[in-house]
Chain A
Amino acid sequence: MSEPPAIRYYDLRHVTGQATLIDIDNGVVESAGTSFFNRAILRVLGPCGWGILEIDNYTSGSKKKFNSLLASASRLASITQQDVHLSDAPYRVLDVPAMREDPRDVSIEEKTEMLAAIELAARNPHVVNRRANYIERSEHITFSDSSGHEFSYEICRSGFNVLAVASRNGTVQMGFERLHSIRGFDLRHRQEYGEHAAKIAVALLDAGHAKGGRMRAVLDPELAGVFAHEAVGHASEGDLVQEGSSILAGKTGNQIGNDRLTIVDDPSLPEFGFEPFDAEGVAVQRTEIIRNGVVNAFLHSRETLAAVGNGVAGHARAMGAEPPLVRMSNTFIENGDAPFEEIIEACNNGILLKGSRGGQVDPGRGIFQFNAEYGYLIEHGECTNMVRDVSLSGEILSTLHDILLCGNDRAMHPGYCGKGGQSVPVSDGAPHVLLDNAVVGSSGVD
């Protein structure tokens, strides 16, 4: 066997823990159980690029065994060609925010009862299906690297989803509510989430379709947060900038939005996307992607910061023990000063969109799409009829100029973001936002 090439750097991240899942479907407890995971990732930076080992059921062993793993990873690195460099970065471990109540102290029997109460609360004569899921994932993460850093933390994310499906005369609609947090157990007395899911599902049975085309749109804090995530967040990820697949590459210092608009990603915030340090052990901190309408900074790993510049490292994240990717964490539009009533009035004729079914972006093309759970027409400054199945699409470089007003009521909403086959917890947020020239995709016509 050939001698492994030289190693410039290595790091090891070991993720262990357990996940509890409960699934209640129309009153039937389909499953309620716990599973266990144990996986590690060893990254070695050879003379050019990375050699990486992912190992299920990892146990730390002798120095000889570890050196053998290093050699294996190093041999993998020998096929790489890219001249990878790592920037210097600050190291600091934040405390994981305290939990109000540790979910692990509550028995699964109690959790099942509480979830069943939420599911039952979605009862309604028109509701044909109720479903509720509880998800609790407790992770212990240890990190060490060849520079002598050694950190560890434990975090527990937990929460629930509740779905109500309403049906009448062949029309089927749904309402969906969720609550996920790093701040502890939150299943107690949450029946209003089930009630609200049912209320929306039933109301949507009578909702119409909006007319598709360009119009003014008011986005609620949840949807405006997804808008920030899709329209700006992904395109600011340093790996996409490095590859040449972000339309924001080379746009640093350019004004792409109105001068009151600031968009931030901050993994240090105690929200669902919180990390005490990133997946490379680097200190996390607030990054203002857009400051007063100007492209200000990109999100980076150590590698992309060295390759691209402009921004800070500390934004490398991973699903479990997968390879770190540059990711968002807690992404939001900063508050403006417009009260909600002023925003609706200023919209005059358009559409108010609420909730999110997700979105997607092609950052190289600069085109994004996202979908609301429901909405209301705005006519002469008043919210009127409910509408359903509305998407928006837009173009990154022009759409931020079309933000006319930002409210003063920012709220964060938890979710998951997919990239490169990995799904990581995030939160998105914003105040209410008034958007001009929004392209609304809906099947209504004149």
Chain B
Amino acid sequence: MRWWVAVAWIDQLLKEGAKRVDEVEVFYAEGVAISADTKRRNVNLAIRSDECGLGIRTIDKGRIGTSSTHNPKQWRECLEAAIASGRLATPQQWNGLPEQAVPDTDILCYDPSLTPDPQAAYGLLEQMLEGAAQHPAQVTSGSATLSSATDVIANSSGLRSISRHTGLSISLEAIQGQSTGSEFAHSCFFDVDPPAVGERAAFLASQSAGGKDIASGNYDILLSPIAYAELLAVAFIPALSARNVHAGRSCLANHLGDDIMDPRLSFYDDPHRKKGLASGLWDGEGMPTKRIDFIRDGSLSSFAYDLRTAYRYGKESTASAIRNGVSGGTMIGHHNFTVNGSRTDVEDERVIYINSVVGAHTANPMNGDFSVEISNAFWMEEGELQTPIRSAMLVGNVFTMHKEIGGISDEVRQIGPMVLPSIRLISQRIIGK
């Protein structure tokens, strides 16, 4: 394979490393991204970003060491740093890196027609601006990015895997008076709808103008997939990480097998989802991925494990290791985190629709409590957005709110590595102003 010839130094690194430590793992990535940004309605800048990086992990008698560099020619220094790092690590049970158990190429997230090109980025911006012109709002900023990357995982047990990814991201922000709106779309394929993104941003800005205040009280609310994702990502999903569970940082730790939410709900990771933004045949350590049922019909059934955590606690890896860039090493995460369940008409009765929230990251990750400002919120009647709500806070708990659901929508949306419906919640606390 031509690509392996280009990275022949990886074999040399593995060979060199294997003389020094029990096992060596190499992660190498290179890619290019082209983006263009608009300020108001004029393109202000275009960027080409050429990225490459090397991450090395060594394991010696259960001691795990890591290092990384942007310069693959510096691999000897990087290997030395990884080995030195391992000497300081506390040893743990370690049963070996995976051997080749997967195809050597993964193109689930690859679109050969998606080429990083400035004119393509420009075209996407133009189309978003056209969409935005349908509503009386002013565009403030927007961005379009096209990217292509190749990742390699190789280890001293013989694993050699290449995955190729493409990506397309667009976003637009708009304002009408003191009312703002924004929308975005991400895909691994050239299949986004830029006019719809522009139209939605301008719609939210214009439709939210002239908002009315709301009295404090308990109300039924409908969280859009965006607002739902913001709250889940900060406080719920970290509680499913086995590292947090075993370390005492998850309030779900002693609840395996318990009914922790409404039995109509199931949460699972779906790594092979067609056109999923984070689909992959293997995880960040080269383990073959499969569906993980975290919550099955309201009952907590599994946590997410990488190799390190699984070996330490005598469990099986769920292939949940992800790479946070080259220098970040591996961490426990998910591929396409999916919320599913019996679908209902969530818009049939009067409800407060909340498109997004401000300050989700300030939620308490230990107990799930949050109090956030709501954005682009409306009274919704018979599925139609009616009176906008000017400003209010939503107070709740990301765990208990799943026992208070009115239903989830038929439609789902991909928000990064999540596939979510809108969710209707009963009697949630709103603090009015």
Contact = CB atoms under 8 A, between A and B. Distances in A.
Interface of A: 19, 22, 25-39, 49-57, 72-73, 75-77, 79-84, 108-109, 112, 128-129, 131, 165, 167, 170-174, 212-214, 239, 242-245, 247, 323, 357-362, 364-371, 388-391, 393, 395, 439-443, 445
B113 interface: no
A27 B72 CA distance: 34
A165 B248 contact: yes
Given A172-B251, A357-B362, A369 B46 contact: no
Closest 8 CB pairs of A and B: A33-B85, A441-B371, A371-B362, A128-B248, A369-B359, A129-B248, A50-B45, A441-B393
B43 A38 contact: no
A359 B52 CA distance: 33
Contact of B48 (A54, A108, A129): A54
A72 B362 contact: no
Given A212-B395, A441-B371, A441-B372, A167 B81 contact: no
B88 interface: yes
A51 B45 contact: yes
Contacts of B36: 79-80
Nearest to A30: B89
B372 A165 contact: no
Nearest to A59: B71
B45 A80 contact: yes
B82 interface: yes
B431 A439 contact: yes
With most chain B CB atoms within 10 A of its CB, the pick from A38, A51, A170, A360 is A360
Contacts of A242: 39
A411 B66 CA distance: 37
B70 A56 contact: yes
A361 B397 CA distance: 22
Contacts, number: 260
A55 B429 contact: no
B140 interface: yes
Given A79-B36, A389-B370, A445-B429, 19 more contacts: A28-B90, A34-B67, A34-B84, A35-B69, A54-B49, A73-B48, A77-B46, A79-B118, A108-B88, A172-B366, A243-B39, A364-B173, A365-B178, A365-B375, A369-B358, A389-B369, A393-B359, A393-B433, A395-B391
Contacts of A366: 178
Contacts of B121: 79
14 contacts: A31-B329, A35-B68, A35-B78, A38-B71, A56-B53, A80-B43, A80-B44, A80-B45, A84-B44, A358-B361, A360-B362, A365-B179, A365-B180, A369-B372
B371 to A, nearest CB: 3
Contacts of B395: 212, 441-443
A84 to B, nearest CB: 7
Size bracket, chain B contacts: 35 or more
Given A32-B85, A50-B45, A358-B362, A212 B372 contact: no
Given A26-B248, A30-B89, A395-B391, A52 B70 contact: no
A172 B252 CA distance: 10
Given A165-B249, A369-B373, A36 B68 contact: yes
A388 B397 CA distance: 13
B373 A49 contact: no
Contacts of A73: 48
Contacts of B51: 54, 56
Nearest to B433: A439
Contacts of A53: 47-50
Contacts of A27: 90
Interface string B84-101: 111011101000000000
B362 A171 contact: no
A443 B327 contact: no
A391 B367 CA distance: 15
B327 A35 contact: yes
Contact of B180 (A52, A84, A362): A362
With most chain B CB atoms within 10 A of its CB, the pick from A51, A83, A439 is A439
B122 interface: yes
A367 B373 contact: yes
A33 B67 contact: yes
B89 A29 contact: yes
Contacts of B369: 388-389, 443
Given A129-B249, A172-B367, A371-B359, A243 B46 contact: no
Interface in B16-74: 34, 36, 39-40, 42-53, 64-72, 74
B176 to A, nearest CB: 10
Nearest to A38: B70
A72 B48 contact: yes
Contact of A112 (B67, B88, B175): B88
Nearest to A307: B39
A244 B140 contact: yes
Contacts of B393: 212, 369, 391, 393, 439, 441
A167 B71 CA distance: 45
A80 B46 contact: yes
A31 B247 contact: no
Contacts of B71: 36, 38, 57
Contacts of A57: 52, 70-72
Contacts of B329: 31
Interface in B288-342: 327, 329
Given A32-B88, A37-B69, A360-B358, A82 B372 contact: no
A50 B327 CA distance: 29
B45 A49 contact: yes
Contacts of B249: 129, 131, 165
A247 B178 contact: yes
B68 A31 contact: no
A76 B46 CA distance: 6
B371 A245 contact: no
Contacts of B173: 245, 364
Nearest to A372: B362
A52 B45 contact: yes
B224 interface: no
